[in-house]
């Protein structure tokens, strides 16, 4: 069985055109850590039911993916029968209107619609959301700072369209947690505050608990939500999964529901004769071979299997191992109403032992335990590591500036990226970790709540920034000003220029509309990408504690995550034996883990 998606399309498709950043509306962030300013949005039907959670019993042959040689061709075929919907229909019949716009409807909850071309632009917002004055906004960033306002035509036009002076506090991802804490502690917060506790910012939970942010539930539920037409299209799970103590403290930034999978250098694997990955042992051998056998052919011992980054027990790249063995997503909800933490399971122990083995055999990048997200990503882009985990949208097309695949192609035009479904090497027990359906959410400080008109104005601005894919507002927000920031090619696809990339940057990163899949350089790839998303989400599991509340977890999360990271690192690197995990579990319990379990169980039962 072939490892993954290396032969994903049945027909060859030329990747045409030098698309700009806006050339693909893929989910610039399918998570986390993406960098393309096209922060995707789209017109997906709102859904109120949970995403599929076929974590067990998944077929080990359920694999499909997108692999391409940058600058040349993309392979494509529909996925194997019984694993993903037909590439011809996307799992459902398109309506005449949808067919006219070359729209492939979503095959399942949490999977985006796909588009083969840009729809005819239409107006999605009436009037100007702002009423003058200034609006400050704290946001995370993955790109260089945008061109300053005085020389930035896009930013100037954005101010006009919003009806305010947009004053973002743009903070690079590595500095986000520290800057967030400083703003909260300072007491004078910006009007809009991008909240993402998972980005080294766990103290944000404490701030919400202490009333630092406004409860937006009355504004964003029931009939009240209808006032914000674009926000009203967000599916129920996007709102439910960002609730804190049952209340909405921010507007979610939508992303796809399917979680990350590892992507590896398919060209390296082919050169080493290790293209078939049907067991964890085969994955082990591939990663070790990347470190030992000079896969880039430069005669130097300067490549490794993968880096490691994270702030808890599993880390990001390391999730590969835990997913292969079916480890719970943080917690497992048992049939008797009790809860089991991931580290207490046999599956976690198997994954940790796998990581210990590949470290002992030299597969990890040097100083892997101290790598930041950016450093691990750069090691993959520069050809130092052969496997990396990130949002799937970063790996669809090598000609979309801003994506990881594009950056890899700049370093090595012959590189081939291949996706690895954990069900292939791990079997039917394998899982993937769903996203909550959003990458953070934007809150409003409680102090602003005294002014109802101001709150509504800020929500209108977020509503404008959530313009749906294909609308006039979307085109401006994500591509800029025509003939200044972007041009339109013969196929009607906007192409962002270098000026546009530098002008747009992460000015509006804190908000987007619903994700879609749109790859104008190779439209057929969108169908395969949608099939891949569906394959991944069929293995997907949620963290069952997303809607639950534990005050001890709020207070102790940062500390216990660091303890988990330190413990896992000590075992992986051989400084502690596997048996040390038993000692660490007991310490985790005594330091707050057992109390967190009790509080989550009480919250689960409505106590």
Write out pLDDT tens, residues 152-173: 999 999 999 999 999 999 999 9
The reported pLDDT for the residue numbered 15 is 22
Q: What percent of the chain has pLDDT over 70?
A: 83
- CB of 264 within 8 A of CB of 334? no
Tell me the chain's radius of gyration from C-alpha atoms. 23
- At 304, which helix (H) or strand (E)? strand 304-306
Q: Specify the residue for token string 């919907």.
A: 85
More confident site: 467 or 528: 467
Dist CA 270 CA 201 (whole Å) = 41
- Checking if the pLDDT of 280 tops 70, the result is yes
- Checking if the pLDDT of 293 tops 50, the result is yes
- Checking if the pLDDT of 27 tops 80, the result is no
The reported pLDDT for the residue numbered 77 is 27
- Checking if the pLDDT of 469 tops 70, the result is yes
Q: Which CATH number fits domain 134-257+438-466: 1.20.1110.10, 3.30.470.20, 3.40.190.10, 1.10.10.10?
A: 3.40.190.10
pLDDT digits (tens, 9 = 90+) for 423-437: 989 888 999 999 999
Structural domain boundaries in the chain: 134-257+438-466, 261-390+548-607
Arithmetic mean of pLDDT, 267-295: 96
Hey, what CATH topology would domain 261-390+548-607 get?
A: D-Maltodextrin-Binding Protein; domain 2 (3.40.190)
The reported pLDDT for the residue numbered 40 is 30
The reported pLDDT for the residue numbered 136 is 98
- Checking if the pLDDT of 459 tops 80, the result is yes
The reported pLDDT for the residue numbered 607 is 56
At 554, the pLDDT band (50, 70, 90 cuts) reads: confident
Domains 134-257+438-466 and 261-390+548-607 share a fold: yes
- Checking if the pLDDT of 26 tops 50, the result is no
The reported pLDDT for the residue numbered 101 is 58
In sequence order, what are the beta bridge partners of 306?
A: 364, 387
Arithmetic mean of pLDDT, 96-125: 82
Using DSSP's 3-state secondary structure scheme, residue 87 falls into coil
Cβ neighbours of 323 (radius 10 Å): 32
**Model confidence, pTM:** 0.78
Mean of pLDDT over the chain: 83
The reported pLDDT for the residue numbered 24 is 37
- Checking if the pLDDT of 34 tops 60, the result is no
């Amino acid at each position: 069985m072939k490892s993954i998606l290396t032969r994903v399309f049945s027909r060859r498709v030329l990747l045409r055109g030098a698309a700009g950043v806006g050339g693909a509306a893929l989910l610039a962030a399918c998570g986390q850590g993406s960098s393309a300013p096209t922060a995707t949005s789209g017109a997906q039907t709102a859904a109120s039911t949970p995403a599929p959670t076929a974590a067990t019993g998944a077929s080990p042959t359920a694999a499909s993916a997108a692999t391409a040689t940058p600058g040349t061709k993309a392979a494509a075929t529909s996925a194997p029968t019984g694993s993903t919907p037909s590439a011809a229909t996307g799992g459902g019949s398109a309506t005449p209107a949808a067919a006219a716009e070359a729209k492939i409807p979503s095959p399942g909850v949490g999977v985006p619609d796909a588009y083969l071309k840009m729809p005819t632009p239409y107006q999605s917002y009436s009037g100007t959301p702002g009423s003058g004055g200034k609006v400050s906004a704290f946001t995370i960033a993955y790109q260089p700072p945008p061109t300053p306002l005085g020389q930035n035509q896009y930013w100037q036009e954005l101010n006009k369209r919003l009806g305010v002076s947009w004053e973002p506090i743009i903070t690079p991802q590595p500095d986000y947690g520290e800057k967030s804490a400083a703003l909260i502690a300072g007491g004078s917060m910006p009007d809009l505050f991008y909240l993402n506790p998972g980005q080294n910012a766990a103290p944000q939970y404490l701030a919400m608990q202490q009333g630092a942010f406004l409860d937006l539930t009355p504004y964003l539920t029931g009939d009240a939500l209808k006032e914000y037409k674009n926000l009203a299209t967000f599916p129920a799970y996007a709102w439910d999964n960002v609730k804190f103590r049952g209340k909405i403290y921010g507007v979610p930034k939508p992303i796809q529901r399917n979680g990350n999978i590892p992507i590896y250098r398919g060209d390296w694997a082919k050169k080493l004769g290790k293209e078939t990955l049907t067991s964890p042992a085969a994955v082990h051998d591939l990663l070790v071979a990347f470190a030992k056998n000079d896969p880039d052919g430069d005669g130097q011992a300067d490549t490794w299997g993968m880096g490691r980054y994270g702030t808890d027990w599993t880390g990001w790249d390391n999730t590969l191992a835990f997913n292969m063995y079916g480890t719970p997503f943080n917690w497992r909800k048992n049939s008797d109403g009790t809860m089991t933490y991931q580290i207490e399971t046999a599956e976690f122990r198997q994954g940790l032992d796998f990581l210990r083995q590949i470290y002992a055999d030299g597969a990890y990048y040097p100083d892997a335990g101290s790598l930041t997200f950016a450093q691990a990503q750069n090691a993959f882009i520069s050809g130092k590591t052969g496997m990396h985990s990130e949002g799937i949208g970063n790996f669809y097309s090598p000609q979309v500036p801003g994506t990881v695949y594009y950056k890899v192609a700049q370093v090595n035009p012959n590189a081939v990226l291949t996706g690895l479904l954990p069900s292939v090497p791990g079997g039917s027990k394998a899982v993937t970790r769903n996203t909550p359906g959003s990458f953070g959410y934007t809150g409003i400080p409680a102090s602003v709540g005294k002014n109802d008109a101001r709150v509504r104005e800020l929500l209108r601005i977020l509503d404008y920034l959530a313009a749906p894919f294909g609308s006039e507002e979307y085109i401006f927000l994500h591509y800029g000003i025509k003939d200044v920031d972007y041009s339109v090619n013969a196929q009607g696809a906007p192409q962002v220029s270098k000026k546009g990339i530098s002008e747009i940057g992460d000015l509006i990163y804190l908000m987007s509309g619903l994700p879609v899949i749109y790859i104008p350089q190779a439209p057929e790839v969108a169908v395969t990408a949608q099939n891949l998303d569906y394959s991944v989400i069929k293995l997907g599991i949620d963290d069952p504690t997303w809607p639950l509340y534990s005050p001890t977890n709020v207070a102790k999360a940062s500390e216990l995550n660091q303890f988990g990271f330190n413990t896992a690192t000590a075992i992986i690197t051989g400084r502690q034996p596997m048996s040390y995990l038993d000692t660490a579990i007991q310490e985790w319990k005594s330091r707050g883990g057992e109390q967190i379990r009790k509080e989550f169980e009480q919250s689960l039962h409505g106590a």
